[in-house]
Chain A
Amino acid sequence: DIQMTQSPSSLSASVGDRVTITCQASQDISNYLNWYQQKPGKAPKLLIYDASNLETGVPSRFSGSGSGTDFTFTISSLQPEDIATYFCQQYPNLPYTFGQGTKLEI
C-alpha cells in the first residue's frame, strides 16, 4: 500500500493567515492526489483534485501543488469557516489511501 504522510497533524492559525499543509507519498504518484475538507460530524468534501485543480464552487483561496511524492495544500487567507480537518488521498493505486489528517484550529 502507498502510505500518505501529512504534516503537521494539527495547526493553530489566525484569521487572515496563510496556511500550508504537506502530504508525502511513500512512492511516486505523479499528480494523482486529491485534497478533502471535513468539518465535525460531516462527510469529507472534495476541494482539490489532480494535485492542483480546484473543484467547482470551491473558493480560490484554496490551492494545491506538487507532483511525484511531495504535495502542498495552501489556504491563502484563513477564514473562520475553514476550521476543519484536511486529508490528502492518492489514486489510482489500489487500495486508495488517505493521509491521517491535519486538524486546523484558530
Chain B
Amino acid sequence: QLRLQESGPGLVKPSETLSLTCTVSGGSVISSSYYWGWVRQSPGRGLEWIGNVYYSGSTYFSPSLKSRVTISLDTSKNRFSLNLTSVTAADTAVYYCARVGYYGTQSFDIWGQGTMVTVSS
C-alpha cells in the first residue's frame, strides 16, 4: 500500500526558505504513470496546487508561485522535496504531498497526512 509522509519544520521565519520532504513508501517514485505533487491549504486561499515533478525530473509549477518554487526528486531515497523561497505570512498553510495521475485522469489519488507550516518571526 503506497503511503506518503511529509516532513520538515513547522515554523519558518519571514524571508527565509520553506523546505519540505515527502517520503514515499510501499512503492517507487520511479513510475512513468504518475507525477508527484504538492498542494497547500489555508483558510484564505483554499486548496492551492503548487507544482508537480515527474520521474524524469520534469517539473511544472503554478504561475503564481513559479518564481519562488523548486521541486526535486531523490530516487535513491524514494522521496521528493519542495523549496519555497522568500516566504511571507501568506505562505502559512497546511502543505500536502500527493500522487497525481499522468496518463488519462490527473487526479490526486493518494495524499500525505499534511504538515502545518507557519511563517512567523
Contact = CB atoms under 8 A, between A and B. Distances in A.
Interface string B95-121: 010100100111111011110000000
Interface in B63-98: 63-64, 96, 98
Nearest to B113: A43
Contact of B108 (A32, A89, A97): A89
Interface of B: 46-49, 60, 62-64, 96, 98, 101, 104-109, 111-114
A80 interface: no
Contact of A100 (B46, B63, B98, B108): B46
Contacts of A59: none
A101 interface: yes
B49 A101 contact: no
Interface in A79-95: 87, 89, 91-92, 94-95
Contacts of B46: 87, 98-101
Interface of A: 1, 32, 34, 36, 42-46, 49-50, 53, 55, 87, 89, 91-92, 94-101
Given A43-B112, A43-B113, A43-B114, A95 B107 contact: no
B111 A43 contact: yes
Contact of B47 (A45, A46, A98): A98
